[in-house]
Every structure is written in C-alpha cells, then in structure tokens.
Chains A and B, each alone.
Chain A
Amino acid sequence: DQQVKQNSPSLSVQEGRISILNCDYTNSMFDYFLWYKKYPAEGPTFLISISSIKDKNEDGRFTVFLNKSAKHLSLHIVPSQPGDSAVYFCAVHPPGTYKYIFGTGTRLKVLA
C-alpha cells in the first residue's frame, strides 16, 4: 500500500505561468517532506524541503505548502521556465528512521 502518492503522472504548463505539483501521504507522523527534481538518466537533485512544524517554505521561484490536516503537500513554481521540465518526486521521512519514502513522480513539461 503506497504511503506517498503523486496522482498526476504528468503536467503541462505554459512558460511564465504557475506549475502546481501535488503529493498526498497517509501517515500524520511523517516529520519532514522534500521535493526532488530529476532529469532523464541523472540522479535526483534536492529542490526544497519543509518540516512538519511549518506550513510554507519559499526559495526563489519555488514554494512548498504543507496541509497537515489534509495530509497534502504541494510544490508551486512561478514563473515556470522551460528548464523546469523534469520529473518531480516528493519524499517523506518517517520519524526515527534513516530513510525516506518517495512518491511515483510527476513529469512536468513547460511549453515555450
């Protein structure tokens, strides 16, 4: 049973508009949440994170929102750029463990 779900396998957005990527999780005990970006044939690179004690974290064009009551995480990219085209994975951390659990990814395509 998947503990982390990214229900949209793909998303297309026009350049300059907002991209919103979503992630749902099942366990309210997860204490740390991350977003990774991955290009084909490369390893994922860390993008932004948020602790469970916060509901928003912003870094330049990227903002992560955490809705604990809904067990929902989202990543907003604004404005979207063609270089943002990649697969985005969300990941959650079960407290007291040394591992992360990853979602299935959403492929973002930003159209010029």
Chain B
Amino acid sequence: DGGITQSPKYLFRKEGQNVTLSCEQNLNHDAMYWYRQDPGQGLRLIYYSQIVNDFQKGDIAEGYSVSREKKESFPLTVTSAQKNPTAFYLCASSITTGATIQETQYFGPGTRLLVL
C-alpha cells in the first residue's frame, strides 16, 4: 500500500535543541517537499527536492535544514536557529516530468512540533 509516512506524530523540543522530523515515501516519486502550517495561515514551503542529492530553499527556509540521500527519504531538521518552531509540519511528494511537476502533491499525516 503506497503512501507517505511521517514520524513522530508529536515532537517536543527543548530550548536550544535540534530535532529531526522523518518523512518516507514508497510512491517512487522524485520530488519531495516540506511545508509548515500555522493557525490561520496556509501551507508555507520550507524546502523541496526535485531529485536525490539536490534540494532548494522554499519561502521560509531559515532555521531549517534537509538532506536527500535516498529517493524515499527527506528528513527535516529544525535547528536551534528557528526561534518559533511550534507548528504542524507536512511532508509531500509528487511525480516530476522534465522541468516541472505533474499532477498533484500527496501529503503525509503531519508532525506537530511543540516547544517545552
């Protein structure tokens, strides 16, 4: 059964701590994405990756880092430089065709990050 999994469902971060959110997909999609959702706001793009070993900053990349060593995996690290990390984080993937994406993005169930 193909899909996107995110773990953990809830994550707590202490002051000054880095935390990593996991995202795995078995859809064989080339492109993967991380979004952040805050109350009353839309989905804001943090980072995206078109292909393995390549990724680009989105609109709100400061305080975050990513890696794309495998096609199936796109972990997001929330660093201590991110001063307001409390949010709902969503991972997505999509098919790509040439220089653009095709069709829709498929989303994981999300991770809620809370600061202690």
Contacts and interface: CB of A to CB of B under 8 A. Distances in A.
A43 B42 contact: no
Interface residues of B, number: 31
Interface of B is mostly: strand
B45 A103 contact: no
Interface residues of A, number: 25
B99 A96 contact: yes
B43 A98 contact: no
Interface of A: 4, 6, 9, 34, 36, 41-46, 49, 89, 93, 95-105
14 contacts: A36-B107, A42-B109, A43-B108, A43-B109, A89-B43, A95-B100, A96-B100, A97-B101, A98-B48, A98-B94, A98-B101, A99-B48, A99-B58, A104-B41
